[in-house]
Amino acid sequence: MLGRECLEMPCNRVFSDEAWQALYLVTQRQPPPDEPPSLDTMVRMVATLGGFLNRKHDAFPGPQTLWIGLGPPTSCSRWGRSAASERVMSHGMRPYREDVLDLYLFNNRDQVRQETDRWIQLYNHEKPHDGLNDMTSIEYLNSA
């Protein structure tokens, strides 16, 4: 794995500038630095999204936490989430990451909240979903 072999390599050789900056902002809750962090740092940030605790004496994150951190659908029930929230996580987070986190470079939390609110409005009220017979979430809810 490149992240284990080239710990000090700048992360922008693997991650796009937009991706590493968005990930940095989300995981560190502060604006990204001018210089990209090391690949090791970024791999650990991805892994924290998958449940990696990144404690002082923790080993390098494994493939499972990296896979979960990268965002494919997962089984959330082992963390005490219901089947309904599992569907929201698997179907809702991927579009959110693609439509918001991958597209914007945020400078503060207010910008994240504002863009997230806009996306939620669009996703629930304007975007038809294949799994809901091409209705929006609100139309489907009102039709029940």
Query: What are 96-114's pLDDT values in tens digits?
Result: 777 877 787 878 777 877 8
Supply the mean pLDDT for the chain: 76
Please write the tens of the pLDDT for every residue from 113-131.
788 788 878 877 888 877 7
Phi, psi of 52 (to 5 degrees): -65, 130
Cα 30–73–43 angle (5° rounding)?
Answer: 40
The two tokens of residue 2 are 């490149």
* Banded pLDDT at 27 (limits 50, 70, 90): confident
The two tokens of residue 86 are 């599992």
pTM above 0.85, yes or no: no
In angstroms, rounded to a whole number, what is the distance separating the alpha carbons of residues 77 and 42?
27
